[in-house]
Amino acid sequence: MAEVEETLKRIQTHKGVIGTMVVNAEGIPIRTTLDNSTTVQYAGLLHQLTMKARSTVRDIDPQNDLTFLRIRSKKHEIMVAPDKEYLLIVIQNPCE
Amino acid sequence: MPVSPVSSRSRPTLGQTITSQPKSISFPGKVKATQTRGYFGANQSRMAVSRTAMILPDMKSAEKLNSPTSRTVTQVFDANGVDVTPRPLYRSDTHVGTAKPSKLLTSQEGSRGSDYISSYSFYQNTLNPSMLGQFTRSVLGSSTVSKSSVSTTESITEDLEEPSYKWERLASFTDLRVLRTIPGKILKEDLEKTIEIILTETETLRLFDLPTVMLSVESEEAEKVSQRNKNYEILCRNRLGNDLYVERMMQTINGAPKNKDVQCDRIIKEDKGIMSTAWDLYDSLNALELSSLPAKWPAADSRSRTNVAAKPREQRAPGSTTEKNSEASSLMDIENVILARIHDDEEDRSEAILKSDKFHQDLFFMERVLMENIFQPKLAAYRQLPVLKEPEPEEPKEFLQGKKVEEVEEEVKKEEEEEIEISAEQSTIPANLERLWSFSCDLTKGLNVSSLAWNKINSDLLVVGYGHFGFKEQKRGLACCWSIKNPTWPERIYQSPYGVTAVDFSIGSPNLLAVGYHNGTIAIYNVQSNSNVPVLDSSESPQKHLGPVWQLQWIEQDRGTTGDDKREILVSISADGRISKWVIRKGLDCHDLMRLKRTAASSNKKGGEKEKKGEALISRQAPGMCFAFHPKDTNIYLAGTEEGHIHKCSCSYNEQYLDTYRGHKGPVYRIAWNPFCHDVFLSCSADWGVAIWQQETLKPFLSFYPTTYVVYDVAWSPKSSYIFAAANESRVEIWDLYISTLDPLIVNVANPGIKFTTVLFAKQTDCLLVGDSDGQVAVYELRNMPTALDSGRGDIIDTLLGPKSHQPG
């Protein structure tokens, strides 16, 4: 458990990381470094997108599954590690 | 004597149903009873009683009831005996009703047939659609009609029986013992029983049949039909103006349609949508095959499918949510406790999520991904992927695509531009070391890097040993496994109170890491597991080293004569003057390969000095600092001592040296065989010098004294036999012997206060790792190195021997 905390902390303090969130399957944040409304918004939107992405991957080959999702935008990059029970979301600004 | 019988009759029929015989009711006092044949009713005692009750006050005539239950076919006669039984207003299809009831009658003559008949007739009549709605009374009438038809008497007082219809109907339904089962008490189990509903195909109902009027040209009747068609055509043509044909109009009478409205209960419709996807089908199929274990958090799973578009996954135990709720509700303070309970569950679950392995793994990947983002251009340079300029210098792209990589830092960009402009020949920019990144973290700050080693299988995995060299400076020690993919945090951390002085990965089992400590112990770790406990430890062994283990190496030795496969041994050299080999059997087994004895100066050399027993170990042993096994013949190895001698030894002899190379005046810190020329080796020592030796010559072939600092480490480049790197206290030098033997090719000066202590070449890439005394391992890229010529692998001795032989200093 301590190791998990340490890793989370390290991730949060990495260069360019804007925010780190762990939300459970209902969108309730478990750990977050951003404010609640932003977290909930991210969680809701990314949840749907992850569902869609996973559905796409599995439609092509049902034995496959989604492991990681990265969305690169102009301003930053959103990285999502999805699971059945939670979503791990990290937003990073890779330019600096 | 009015026609009161009719009216008077009306009352009794409220309750009456059946009489045994048809009663002909005439005026009071005169009652004739004509009986129909075989008309016995069933019970309806109730009715009968009521009837009698009704009748009696009305009818003062003594009407005998032969049996309490029987159908009445009443006939009314007036005073003159004329049958004035009112006729039914409506006659149903007598055909419909006759057939079955008559059958029944005949079959069950005389015994309880009538009620069946009656009910059946009711049934029939109610089904008759033409009756419905037209005459309410006629329904009743029709029932009585059928009765009458059965009974063959025409006189039936249907209106008398009208109010009783309903009762009769009910009664008859209750009479239907045979035809319908009385519904008993519905038990709870019945409700939950699985009821099998078998759907079968009915016979085809033909609603419309329009036979075809087309025939194939090839059928047999085609001839006839075509002939007929032709005749018809001729006929039509002849028709006009022909006297044989006269036109005449006809009018068909259409019945006046009548609309009938029917109102029914509102049909409640529900829309249900389902998206069926390929993976959903696959999952369902798998779910059937797998034995369904109840999931750990079934409630969470059942709630997790909140998205409508997604299909529900495997069916979890559906009763679990109710389970949880029922648990909560069983407590006293229901509301609060339920909330608290759910909250606890939520917390528990979030804790469980955080602790789960999957989360841990996801964090690990996430960190790697972040690293990749941050270090991406550096890693690309490390892996020697082409680095090109891009028009919009905003985003770094995925470097795995290998196509375009963004440069972020300004100076690097400039160099890139220059690189692109300049051709691949000897550029005007000298070869340089470009620092890519450095492995360091908080843990390693302030420690001295003492040794570096690559993993034999995973070329991204590096182990760094941290420990101070000097006796007085001893601090805690650390051995860390770093991965190229994450330069900010090591993958494995092995701490110890003693400084680490030597590390090496095994060749045969690449997950084994041997670590040598300043106190002489050797520990073997398994890096596959996460534990910090060494797998094997030599601290208990009676033959452990008593001085710092300065070098460790795993060697694969041919067993040769014994016929075994190559076995791997761990060879260590330490300051107590022993070179030992360790074999992993049940523990660490140690054998001495060699005891390094002090040799006096060459002039007074005596052979075979014996060690004094019981003496302190300092006296006769020469502390060993380093060793190097011959790349081709693993029986031969060189050992460097603190005296400055390099001894050539063989594993077969553990008493005598084969040769001694004298050239250094201080402890020899490192010996390295040239990977291409197997006769040449390199050594560095604390006497500020680096020397190149040839195997046969006992004096150094070339020596270099570039600075006045101790040279801690040297290494040959894996790409060229002319290039080697040397790290001394103040700088790192790259020498290229092909170009010059006087000056190093590249010199990288250290920051003040930092000493470079170790160097290691990366195998596949042009990169050099340099460890320093501040706990950092910096990765440098060798840029603009002179292209390796074909003779780069050649014999440097030949190249250098002729014109450039240099006097040893």
CB contact under 8 A, B307 and A16: no
B183-187, B324-328, B485-489, B569-573: the lowest-pLDDT one: B324-328
Q: What is the 3-state secondary structure (H, E, C) of B554-580?
A: EEEECCHHHCCCCEEEEEEEECCCEEE
Residues of chain B contacting A59 with CB distance shorter than 8 Å:
277-279
Residues A54/A67, Cβ–Cβ less than 8 Å: no
Most confident of the following: A32-46, B415-429, B776-790: A32-46
The Cα of A37 is separated from the nearest Cα of chain B by a number of Å equal to 19
- Where are the alpha helices (H) located in B618-725, listed in sequence order? none
Determine the Cα–Cα distance for residues B613 and B606; give it in Å rounded to an integer. 19
Q: What is the pLDDT of residue B417?
A: 45
**Within an 8 Å CB–CB cutoff, is residue A45 touching chain B?**
no
**Within an 8 Å CB–CB cutoff, is residue B304 touching chain A?**
yes
Q: Which of the four pLDDT bands, split at 50, 70 and 90, describes residue B289? A: confident
Residues of chain A contacting B297 with CB distance shorter than 8 Å:
85
CB contact under 8 A, B367 and A70: no
Question: In this predicted model, what pLDDT tens digit does every residue of B240-281 receive, in sequence order?
Answer: 777 777 778 888 888 888 889 988 899 899 999 988 888 888
Q: Please give the model's pTM, rounded to 2 decimal places.
A: 0.57
CB contact under 8 A, B367 and A10: yes
Q: Which of the four pLDDT bands, split at 50, 70 and 90, describes residue B178? A: low
Determine the Cα–Cα distance for residues B505 and A10; give it in Å rounded to an integer. 28
Residues of chain A contacting B306 with CB distance shorter than 8 Å:
26
pLDDT above 80: residue B117:
no
Residues of chain B contacting A63 with CB distance shorter than 8 Å:
282
Q: What is the pLDDT of residue A79?
A: 92
Q: What is the pLDDT of residue B334?
A: 56
Q: What is the pLDDT of residue A70?
A: 92
The Cα of A32 is separated from the nearest Cα of chain B by a number of Å equal to 13
The encoded tokens of residue B661 equal 């190379």
Residues of chain B contacting A60 with CB distance shorter than 8 Å:
278
B52-66, B357-371, B518-532: the lowest-pLDDT one: B52-66
Determine the Cα–Cα distance for residues B67 and B666; give it in Å rounded to an integer. 140
**Within an 8 Å CB–CB cutoff, is residue A86 touching chain B?**
yes
Q: In what order do the strands lie in the sheet with B624-629?
A: B624-629, B636-641, B645-650, B659-662
The encoded tokens of residue B720 equal 């060229």
pLDDT above 80: residue A94:
no
Q: Is A72 exposed, middle or buried (0-12, 13-18, 19+ CB in 10 A)?
A: middle
Determine the Cα–Cα distance for residues B185 and B443; give it in Å rounded to an integer. 79
Q: Which has more confidence, B616 or B512? A: B512
Residues of chain B contacting A10 with CB distance shorter than 8 Å:
367, 488-489
Residues B698/B599, Cβ–Cβ less than 8 Å: no
Residues of chain A contacting B281 with CB distance shorter than 8 Å:
62
CB contact under 8 A, B304 and A17: no
Q: Which of the four pLDDT bands, split at 50, 70 and 90, describes residue B737? A: confident
**Within an 8 Å CB–CB cutoff, is residue B297 touching chain A?**
yes
The Cα of A79 is separated from the nearest Cα of chain B by a number of Å equal to 8
B58-72, B525-539, B562-576: the lowest-pLDDT one: B58-72
CB contact under 8 A, A11 and B301: no
Q: Which of the four pLDDT bands, split at 50, 70 and 90, describes residue B800? A: low
**Within an 8 Å CB–CB cutoff, is residue B364 touching chain A?**
yes
B128-132, B220-224, B505-509, B740-744: the lowest-pLDDT one: B128-132
Q: Which has more confidence, B616 or B80? A: B80
Q: What is the pLDDT of residue B619?
A: 57
Q: Which has more confidence, B124 or B794? A: B794
Dihedral class, residue B560 (left if φ above 0, else alpha if ψ from -120 to 50, else beta): left
CB contact under 8 A, A79 and B367: no
Q: Which has more confidence, A96 or B102? A: A96
pLDDT above 90: residue B645:
no
pLDDT above 80: residue B76:
no
Q: Which of the four pLDDT bands, split at 50, 70 and 90, describes residue B206? A: confident
Percentage of chain B with pLDDT > 70? Answer: 60
Mean pLDDT of A25-31: 86
Percentage of chain A with pLDDT > 90? Answer: 48
Q: What is the pLDDT of residue B125?
A: 46
User: Which residue of B lies nearest to A24 if distances are taken between CA atoms?
Assistant: B350
User: Which residue of A lies nearest to B369 if distances are taken between CA atoms?
Assistant: A79
pLDDT above 50: residue A7:
yes
**Residue of A59, A88, A95 with shortest CB distance to B363:** A88
B32-46, B489-503, B539-553, B791-805: the lowest-pLDDT one: B32-46
Determine the Cα–Cα distance for residues B406 and B408; give it in Å rounded to an integer. 6
- What is the pLDDT of chain B when averaged over all its residues? 68
Helix (H) or strand (E) holding B778: strand B777-783
Determine the Cα–Cα distance for residues B145 and B97; give it in Å rounded to an integer. 9
At residue B446, the 3 state secondary structure works out as: coil
Determine the Cα–Cα distance for residues B779 and B770; give it in Å rounded to an integer. 6
**Within an 8 Å CB–CB cutoff, is residue B314 touching chain A?**
no
Residues of chain A contacting B356 with CB distance shorter than 8 Å:
85
Residues of chain B contacting A47 with CB distance shorter than 8 Å:
307
**Within an 8 Å CB–CB cutoff, is residue A92 touching chain B?**
yes
**Residue of A24, A28, A90 with shortest CB distance to B366:** A90
Q: Which of the four pLDDT bands, split at 50, 70 and 90, describes residue B422? A: very low
Q: What is the pLDDT of residue B322?
A: 39
**Residue of B281, B365, B489 with shortest CB distance to A68:** B365
CB contact under 8 A, A17 and B370: yes
* Beta strands at B680-685 and B668-673: parallel, antiparallel or unpaired: antiparallel
**What values do phi and psi take at B796, rounded to 5?**
-75, -25
Q: What is the pLDDT of residue B745?
A: 80
The Cα of A45 is separated from the nearest Cα of chain B by a number of Å equal to 11
**Residue of B279, B362, B394 with shortest CB distance to A81:** B362
Residues B667/B683, Cβ–Cβ less than 8 Å: no
Mean pLDDT of B668-693: 88
Q: Which has more confidence, B441 or B130? A: B441
Residues of chain B contacting A15 with CB distance shorter than 8 Å:
374
User: Which residue of B lies nearest to A78 if distances are taken between CA atoms?
Assistant: B370
Residues B567/B615, Cβ–Cβ less than 8 Å: no
Determine the Cα–Cα distance for residues B651 and B641; give it in Å rounded to an integer. 17
CB contact under 8 A, A74 and B394: yes
Most confident of the following: B25-34, B364-373, B418-427, B782-791: B364-373
**Within an 8 Å CB–CB cutoff, is residue B302 touching chain A?**
no
CB contact under 8 A, B277 and A1: no
Percentage of chain B with pLDDT > 90? Answer: 1
The Cα of B403 is separated from the nearest Cα of chain A by a number of Å equal to 17
The Cα of B406 is separated from the nearest Cα of chain A by a number of Å equal to 10
pLDDT above 60: residue B294:
no
Q: Which long-range contacts (CB under 8 A, 24 or more apart) does B388-394 make?
A: B388/B416, B388/B420, B389/B413, B389/B416, B389/B417, B389/B420, B394/A74, B394/A95
pLDDT above 80: residue B92:
no
Please count the residue pairs, one from chain A and one from chain B, whose beta carbons lie less than 8 angstroms apart: 121
User: Which residue of B lies nearest to A79 if distances are taken between CA atoms?
Assistant: B366
Q: What is the pLDDT of residue B341?
A: 59
Q: Which has more confidence, B361 or B307? A: B361
**Within an 8 Å CB–CB cutoff, is residue A53 touching chain B?**
no
Q: Which of the four pLDDT bands, split at 50, 70 and 90, describes residue B801? A: low
Interface test with B, best of A18, A84, A93 (most B CBs within 10 A): A84
**Residue of A10, A24, A72 with shortest CB distance to B353:** A24
Question: In this predicted model, what pLDDT tens digit does every residue of A44-90 receive, in sequence order?
Answer: 999 999 999 999 999 999 889 999 999 989 888 899 999 888 889 99
pLDDT above 80: residue B550:
yes
Q: Which of the four pLDDT bands, split at 50, 70 and 90, describes residue B21? A: very low
Q: What is the pLDDT of residue B783?
A: 79
Residues B447/B475, Cβ–Cβ less than 8 Å: yes
Q: Check residue B77 and report its DSSP letter.
A: B
pLDDT above 60: residue B16:
no
